[in-house]
């Protein structure tokens, strides 16, 4: 059982004690794990399986390249809160940003690979592949991506598409990110892409944050009044 898991049935009531949990997490080994929860009622009706993703040593690139490396016209450097992927370009080279060969990703954790990045280059096409040995099996590519980004954004690759689909199964050990210009004949444009985070997730995050509370106060004797030289503080609370 799991201390955070509960289950109830319209006839049997509380069936938490019947939950069957499969927890393969090894906190000593970096990777993406899937913890599964299943439960049946007294009539053997099965609930929809619940999957919880647990990431040990996540790819957040804080002062570390997290085992990722650049190849074929790409290099990577660690930064305080993100990694910098430098693309040599121009030319017919196709740069690769590869995870280590021991990524230990349980694909049951989700079908999307999410990359939070800031594109400072003119490259507008992103590809993500499952590595089968030395052979990349790519998911559907993302085209018409923004350039010279003002801030970080998250892009999602559906790994159950294109040639990646048949290989996104079980536990995989390496993935590859490849940015290029849309016209493959010119390969890659020179520039940099900041990589903030890479994660395997079950769904896309499409919920925008909302401002739930706004307050204004000043350091005037009356906090609701401001005069010349007073400091006015605006406080906003956002939820997602």
pLDDT in tens, 25-52: 777 777 788 888 888 988 888 888 888 7
Alpha-carbon span 99 to 193, nearest angstrom: 16
Better-scored residue on pLDDT, 17 or 91: 17
Residue 4: pLDDT band with limits 50, 70, 90: confident
pLDDT in tens, 116-151: 999 999 999 999 999 999 999 999 999 999 999 999
Q: What pLDDT score does 205 carry?
A: 84
Alpha-carbon span 124 to 87, nearest angstrom: 13
Alpha-carbon span 181 to 93, nearest angstrom: 11
Q: Which of 220, 221, 1 is nearest to 232 (CA)?
A: 220
Q: What pLDDT score does 236 carry?
A: 66
- Contact assessment for residue 155 and residue 224, using Cβ atoms and an 8 Å cutoff: no
- With 60 as the cut, is the pLDDT of residue 93 above it? yes
Read off the pLDDT of each residue in 10-33 and give the average, rounded to a whole number: 81
Q: Would you call 11 exposed, middle or buried from its count of C-beta atoms within 10 A (0-12, 13-18, 19+)?
A: exposed
Better-scored residue on pLDDT, 171 or 222: 171
Q: What pLDDT score does 35 carry?
A: 84
47 phi-psi bin (left φ>0, alpha ψ -120 to 50, beta other): beta
Q: What pLDDT score does 24 carry?
A: 75
Q: What pLDDT score does 92 carry?
A: 62
pLDDT in tens, 101-119: 999 899 988 999 999 999 9
pLDDT in tens, 186-209: 688 889 999 999 999 988 888 777
Residue 234: pLDDT band with limits 50, 70, 90: confident
Q: Which of 196, 208, 189 is nearest to 95 (CA)?
A: 189
pTM for the model stands at: 0.77
Contacts of 73 (CB under 8 A, 6+ apart): 87, 88, 89, 91, 93, 94, 95, 187, 188
Q: Would you call 183 exposed, middle or buried from its count of C-beta atoms within 10 A (0-12, 13-18, 19+)?
A: exposed
pLDDT in tens, 165-191: 999 999 999 999 999 888 666 688 889
- With 70 as the cut, is the pLDDT of residue 71 above it? yes
Q: Give the dihedral sign, CA 51/204/78/151.
A: negative
């Amino acid at each position: 059982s799991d201390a955070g898991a509960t289950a109830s049935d319209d006839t049997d009531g509380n069936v938490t004690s019947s939950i069957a949990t499969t927890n393969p997490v090894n906190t000593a080994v970096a990777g993406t794990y899937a913890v599964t929860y299943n439960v049946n009622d007294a009539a053997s009706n099965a609930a929809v399986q619940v999957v919880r993703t647990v990431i040990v040593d996540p790819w957040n690139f804080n002062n570390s390249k997290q085992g990722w490396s650049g190849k074929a016209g790409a290099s990577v450097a660690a930064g305080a809160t993100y990694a910098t992927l430098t693309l040599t370009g121009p030319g017919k080279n196709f740069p690769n940003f590869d995870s280590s060969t021991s990524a230990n990703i349980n694909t049951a954790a989700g079908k999307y690979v999410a990359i939070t990045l800031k594109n400072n280059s003119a490259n507008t096409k992103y590809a993500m592949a499952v590595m089968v040995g030395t052979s990349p099996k790519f998911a559907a590519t993302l085209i018409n991506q923004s350039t010279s980004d003002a801030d970080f954004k998250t892009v999602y690759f559906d790994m159950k598409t294109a040639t990646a689909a048949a290989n996104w199964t079980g536990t995989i050990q390496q993935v590859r990110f490849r940015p290029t210009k849309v016209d493959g004949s010119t390969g890659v444009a020179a520039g940099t892409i900041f990589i903030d985070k890479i994660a395997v997730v079950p769904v896309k995050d499409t919920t925008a944050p909302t401002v739930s509370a706004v307050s204004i106060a000043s350091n005037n004797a009356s906090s609701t009044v401001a005069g010349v030289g007073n400091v006015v503080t605006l406080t906003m609370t956002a939820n997602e």
